[in-house]
Structure 1
Amino acid sequence: MKKVVLVTGGSSGIGKAISLFLQEKKYTVYGTSRNPSNYPDSTIPLLALDVQNQDSINLAVKELIQKEGQLDILINNAGVGITGPMEETPIDEVKNAMETNFYGPLRVLQAVLPQMRAQKSGRVINITSIAGYMGLPYRGIYSASKGALEIATEAYRMECAHLNIHFSNVAPGDFATNIAAGRFHAAVVPGSDYEEGYTHTLKLIDEHVDDGSDPVEVANKIYEILQLKNPGIHYKVGSFLQKFSIVLKKILPEKQYESMLKKHYGL
Structure 2
Amino acid sequence: MKRNILITGTSTGVGLESSILFAKNGFKVYATMRNLDKAEALKDKIKEDNLDIEILSLDVTNTSSIALAVNTIIEKDGKIDILLNNAGAGFAKTTEQATEEEIKWVTDVNYHGVVFCTQAVLPFMRKQKSGQIINVTSVGGLVGQPFNELYCGAKFAVEGYMEALATYVCDAFNIKISNVEPGGISTEFMTSAIGKTAVEGKFATGEYLPIFEKYMAGNQKRATESKEQVYQTGIEVANVVLSVAQNENPPLRIRTSKWAEDFCELKTKSDPDGTKLVNQLKSSFL
Alignment TM class, shorter chain as reference:
0.7 to 0.9
Paired position in structure 1 for 2:15: 15
Paired position in structure 2 for 1:31: 31
Question: Are 1:70 and 2:79 counterparts?
Answer: yes
Paired position in structure 2 for 1:234: 253
The counterpart of 1:134, out of the listed 143, 163, 166, is: 143
Q: Secondary structure at the match of 1:185?
A: coil
Paired position in structure 2 for 1:257: none
Whichever residue aligns with residue 199 of structure 1, its letter is E
Whichever residue aligns with residue 246 of structure 2, its letter is Q
1:75-224 mapped onto 2 (5 Å cutoff)? 75-161=84-170, 162-183=172-193, 184-187=196-199, 188=202, 192-205=206-219, 211=227, 212-224=231-243
Q: 1:31 to 1:190 in 2, by over 3 A?
A: closer
Farther off after superposition, 140-149 or 220-229: 220-229
Contact residue 180 and residue 255 of structure 2 kept, 8 A: yes
Contact residue 32 and residue 57 of structure 2 kept, 8 A: yes
Q: 1:203 to 1:92 in 2, by over 3 A?
A: farther
- Kindly, what percent of the aligned residue pairs are identical? 34
Q: TM-score, normalised by structure 2?
A: 0.81
Q: 1:133 to 1:58 in 2, by over 3 A?
A: same
The counterpart of 1:245, out of the listed 254, 263, 266, is: 263
Q: Secondary structure at the match of 1:5?
A: strand
Which consecutive residues of structure 1, in runs of 5 or more, have no partner in the other structure? 252-267
Q: 1:168 to 1:194 in 2, by over 3 A?
A: same
Contact residue 182 and residue 260 of structure 2 kept, 8 A: no
Mapped to 2, the partners of 1:191 and 1:64 lie a distance apart of: 47
Q: Secondary structure at the match of 1:10?
A: coil
Farther off after superposition, 207-216 or 48-57: 207-216
Contact residue 93 and residue 203 of structure 2 kept, 8 A: no
Q: TM-score, normalised by structure 1?
A: 0.87
Which consecutive residues of structure 2, in runs of 5 or more, have no partner in the other structure? 47-52, 270-286
Contact residue 36 and residue 48 of structure 1 kept, 8 A: yes
The RMSD of aligned alpha carbons is 2.0
Q: 1:237 to 1:109 in 2, by over 3 A?
A: same
Whichever residue aligns with residue 24 of structure 2, its letter is E
Deviation at 1:83, TM superposition (A): 0.5
Whichever residue aligns with residue 120 of structure 2, its letter is A
Deviation at 1:37, TM superposition (A): 3.2
Whichever residue aligns with residue 213 of structure 2, its letter is T
